[in-house]
Amino acid sequence: MKHVISVLVENKFGVLARVAGLFSARGFNIASLSVGETTDTTVSRMTIITSGDDQIIEQVIKQLRRIIDVIKVSDLTDESYVEREMVMIKVNADNKVRAELMQIVDIFRSKIIDVSPKGFIIEATGDSNKIDALLDLLKPFGIKEIARTGCAAMSRGSQKNHK
């Protein structure tokens, strides 16, 4: 089962390696990992998407908490949360298909951020399902390149967990 784990860590060098190393050393897979500073510049938030049965996830969380640089770990999966990911997609777009492509971009509330004679770069944000759906639709046009950020996630409402 997919789990979204939000981890507050000290914003220091080596911390990412420690967290990622915990996963690799135990053979746990990371589907996506994103990091960024919080309002407190000494603290960063990592959003990790991983999957596994309950016992594995429990272990992952306990092991994460054990890392000295980890300040707080929460599994958002069972809470109400929002997740977003950003992607840039370079897609073939000659004159014949531009109109159709622009329609798709519109429907997905995404943006064209670069135009060249042969193609577009499309920027989209959304949860992973939306991004996957967009990519599926664009595939027939010929995707040249993609860059996905990985998920950032946050619990809804007024919980104080996340700075």
Please pick, from the candidates 4, 9, 48, 57, the single residue that binds other proteins as defined by CB under 8 A: 9
Q: How far is the CB of 99 from other proteins (least distance, A)?
A: 51
DSSP-derived letter for residue 75 is: E
Instruction: Please name the helix (run of DSSP H) or strand (run of DSSP E) that holds residue 47, with its range, or none.
Output: strand 43-51
Q: How far is the CB of 14 from other proteins (least distance, A)?
A: 7
Determine how many CB atoms are found less than 10 A away from the CB of residue 46. 22
Both tokens assigned to 121: 């770069």
Amino acid making up residue 43:
V
Q: Pick the stretch among 17-25, 88-96, 100-108, 117-125 that binds other proteins (CB under 8 A).
A: 17-25
35 interacts with other proteins by CB under 8 A? no
Rounded (5°) CA angle 64-53-44: 25
> In whole angstroms, what is the distance from residue 137 CA to residue 139 CA?
6
Site string for other proteins, 54-93 (x = CB under 8 A): -x--xx--xx-xxxxxxxx---------------------
36 interacts with other proteins by CB under 8 A? no
Q: Which residues are at the interface with other proteins (CB under 8 A)?
A: 9-10, 13-14, 17-18, 21, 25, 55, 58-59, 62-63, 65-72
